[in-house]
Every structure is written in structure tokens, then in C-alpha cells.
């Protein structure tokens, strides 16, 4: 019988698990590793955003394309981790993942990729026209609505990993990787630098522990 205090998980056949295992692990590990690389090499914008990033505009664009793809992969990984589980916490985890994917990736696309492309193209314009580009870049960097989208996305990530930790806790997962999973949210808040890289590192350790160090005895019968 199913234990009422446990999280119910929908079982899969052995063939289904084997066929999806490689893709699952590529997603679970590839996303945070790619994000860690992007966050480590992420150029820092000074007070004058256009001037400080002009020399590294190409790098800025490449980094944010990598970051966008990596964070989208992380969102997919969070869905994989919560898929098959039922209940309010599992639903909340998936909803938080959706909010993170929509708002934070939109933030990265506009404030990262679009801004970088604008800076890169602005370098080819006459000096008098570059002033207008610099104003547009500064606007994208400081616009409160765009910042709010990033904050909402970051909160969505925190809700997703927090609810997922509850789901896996009820499925008797080890406590340490669950704490590391929640701690990975600092990477989304920091966005770049050593703290962000450490957050993605905690995600990798958490997923590795859950995937290889925890035997899922959670396929409860219907």
C-alpha cells in the first residue's frame, strides 16, 4: 500500500527509464555546467554601460547566448526532477519552473543578448549616433520593469527548488543534496561572479548525489 505521508510517484518501465536516462543526465548536468562557465566569464558593466562593454561586446553576446541556453536547460532539468510526482508541492515546483523559464529567460534575452547586440552594432556607427545607442543601452540596463522581470524569474526559481526539495524530502531523499539544491538559487540572484558559480556548483553536486547516490525507492503503487 502507499504510505500516506510519502509523495506518490508515477512509475516507469525499465525500458522507458533506460531510453531517457542519457538525455536526462545531459540535461541535468549540462545546464548548470554551461551556466557556471557563462557566469564566470560574464563581463562586468560599469556605471557607463555602453563605454564599459563596447570592447567586450562580442564576448557579452556569446556569454548571454550560452547563459540563455544553459538556463533553459536547467528549467528542463527541474521539470525532469519533478515529473512523475503528484501533489501540491510537485505542482508548485513545476509552476515555479515555468515562471523562472518565462521571466528570467526573457530578462536574459533582453538585458543580455539584445543589449549586447545593440552595443556591438553601435560601435560601427558615427560618434554622434553612438550617443543615442548609449542611451538605449543604459535604458535597457536600468529599466525597472525589466529588472522586475528578472526578480520574478529568480523568485520562481527559488519556489521551484524549494517545492522540489519538499517533494524529494517526502520521498526520503537525503537531506544534504536537497539543501544544496535550494542553495543553488544564489546563482540566479547573483547572475555572475564567484557566488553564482558556487551556486551552480551546488546544483551539480545536488543532482549528482540524487542521481547516483540515492536509490529511489519511491515508485509507490497506485
To which H or E segment does residue 2 belong? none
> Which grid coordinates are listed for 149?
522581470
Strands (DSSP E) found in 31-131: none
The long-range contacts involving 124-130, CB below 8 angstroms and separated by at least 24 positions, are: 130/50
Q: Confirm if 109 and 68 have CB atoms less than 8 A apart.
A: yes
CA 170 – CA 184 distance, rounded (Å): 20
pLDDT at 59: 96
**What tens digit of pLDDT does each residue of 148-174 get?**
999 999 999 999 999 999 999 999 999
Q: pLDDT (tens digit, 9 = 90+) per residue, 26-48?
A: 999 999 999 999 999 999 998 99
- Residue 205's pLDDT band, with cuts at 50, 70 and 90, is very high
Q: Which residues contact 135 (CB under 8 A, 6 or more apart)?
A: none
Neighbours of 87 (CB within 10 A): 16
Nearest to 116 by CA among 202, 55, 197, 47: 55
Taking 3-state DSSP, the helix, strand and coil percentages for the chain, each rounded to the nearest 5, stand at 80, 0, 20
Exposure of 178 in the CB half-sphere (CA atoms within 13 A): 16
Per-residue pLDDT tens digits for 61-101 = 999 999 999 999 999 999 999 988 999 999 999 999 999 99
Q: Write the CB contacts of 4 (distance below 8 Å, at least 6 apart in sequence).
A: none
Give the pTM. Answer: 0.86
DSSP lists the bridge partners of residue 150 as: none
Closest to 84 in 3D by CA, of 26, 17, 19, 2 = 17
Amino acid at each position: 500500500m502507499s504510505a500516506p505521508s510519502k509523495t506518490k510517484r508515477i512509475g516507469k518501465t525499465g525500458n522507458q527509464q533506460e531510453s531517457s536516462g542519457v538525455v536526462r543526465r545531459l540535461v541535468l548536468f549540462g545546464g548548470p555546467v554551461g551556466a557556471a562557465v557563462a557566469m564566470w566569464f560574464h563581463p562586468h558593466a560599469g556605471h557607463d554601460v555602453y563605454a564599459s562593454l563596447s570592447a567586450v561586446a562580442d564576448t557579452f553576446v556569446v556569454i548571454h547566448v550560452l547563459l540563455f541556453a544553459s538556463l533553459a536547460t536547467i528549467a528542463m532539468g527541474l521539470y525532469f526532477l519533478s515529473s512523475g510526482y503528484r501533489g501540491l508541492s510537485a505542482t508548485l515546483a513545476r509552476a515555479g519552473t515555468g515562471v523562472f523559464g518565462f521571466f528570467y529567460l526573457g530578462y536574459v534575452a533582453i538585458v543580455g543578448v539584445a543589449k549586447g547586440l545593440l552595443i556591438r552594432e553601435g560601435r560601427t556607427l558615427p560618434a554622434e549616433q553612438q550617443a543615442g545607442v548609449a542611451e538605449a543601452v543604459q535604458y535597457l540596463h536600468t529599466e525597472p520593469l525589466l529588472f522586475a522581470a528578472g526578480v520574478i524569474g529568480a523568485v520562481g526559481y527559488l519556489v521551484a527548488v524549494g517545492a522540489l526539495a519538499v517533494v524529494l524530502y517526502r520521498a526520503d531523499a537525503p537531506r544534504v543534496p536537497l539543501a544544496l539544491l535550494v542553495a543553488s538559487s544564489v546563482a540566479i540572484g547573483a547572475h555572475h561572479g564567484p557566488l553564482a558559480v558556487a551556486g551552480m556548483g551546488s546544483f551539480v553536486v545536488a543532482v549528482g548525489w540524487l542521481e547516483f547516490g540515492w536509490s529511489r525507492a519511491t515508485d509507490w503503487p497506485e
